[in-house]
Structure 1
């Protein structure tokens, strides 16, 4: 039987590195990326990571599929944690929606669960825009600026925590996170 070793410290370092890359992309290039996303969605109707590889015509983006994934995932997490998510009743799969407004444009994210999870940006219907602007449904509409500011604030909190935190192996063999000065 083959034994596999799992390096907890390496896995935590990889997670931290990917999280830093995600936050750095969003805080430094998020506004420009959102403008490009809105432009592509208005032309195509929707946009996800697969469109970068297989889309016809190919989307004209200055960032990668991974960075588009950062935007999709982070924006959906923000919506879920801050306003909740309505669902698309007409979709046959379990799903959730998020709506973001930037420079007067409203864009939606649809996340669908089936044999896996897929998510994409899409154009918001005129009826939905009317509901978001004129009814209690508007509670689901998020200002993109709020998302960027939240990400910047989380980045600042993370820097404070990481400079004074250590991960150590305790006597029982488990890992603990400790705060203190270096």
Structure 2
């Protein structure tokens, strides 16, 4: 059997770099990206990463499918951590929803779980918009500005921490951990 090595410091470095890229995109391009997302959702009805490759017509976006994924994932995490998520009872699959408002426009993120996870931006129905604006269901409506400010605050907190002070670096000393047998 072959011996495999897993370098914890390298894996953590990759994760940290992707997290920094995600935050940097949201902080620097988030508002412009959201305007483009709203425009496309209003024209198409929905938008996800696959639309960038296979959509007909192709969405007119100034950012990549990966960056669209950053927005979907980060916004859904923010909603989950701040207000929780309602579900679509009519959907036969496990799912959760999130709602964001930006410049008097509301977009919905729909996330479905099955043999994987699929998520996309969509336009909520008029009935849902009415519920968000006029009932207790409105607790689920988040302001996009709050999401951007939260991301900026998380970024400044992260920058205060030194990579040398992480617990895992203290434990491993940056060493490679070997696993398996010869």
- 1:114-125 equivalence runs, <5 A: 114-125=114-125
Long gaps (5+) in structure 1: 176-182
TM-score normalised per structure 1 = 0.92
1:174 and 1:4, CA in 2 relative to 1: closer, same or farther beyond 3 A? closer
Q: CA deviation at 1:174?
A: 10
Aligned pair 1:133/2:133, yes or no? yes
Q: CA deviation at 1:25?
A: 0.2
The residue that corresponds to 2:63 in the other structure is: 63
Q: Write the distance in 1 (CA, Å) between the matches of 2:36 and 2:101.
A: 14
Aligned residue for 1:115, secondary structure, equals coil
CA RMSD of aligned residues (A): 1.7
The residue that corresponds to 1:12 in the other structure is: 12
Which structure's relative contact order is higher, taking Cα pairs within 8 Å and 6+ residues apart?
2
TM-score normalised per structure 2 = 0.92
Long gaps (5+) in structure 2: 178-182
- 1:65-80 equivalence runs, <5 A: 65-80=65-80
Size of the aligned set, in residue pairs, is: 174
Q: Write the distance in 2 (CA, Å) between the matches of 1:151 and 1:45.
A: 27
Q: Write the distance in 2 (CA, Å) between the matches of 1:169 and 1:136.
A: 47
1:90-111: CA deviations, max 9, x gaps? 1110000000000000000000
Q: Write the distance in 2 (CA, Å) between the matches of 1:137 and 1:153.
A: 27
1:102 and 1:132, CA in 2 relative to 1: closer, same or farther beyond 3 A? same
Aligned pair 1:168/2:157, yes or no? no
Q: Write the distance in 1 (CA, Å) between the matches of 2:123 and 2:162.
A: 39
- 1:8-157 equivalence runs, <5 A: 8-157=8-157
Contact 2:52 2:59 in 1 (8 A): yes
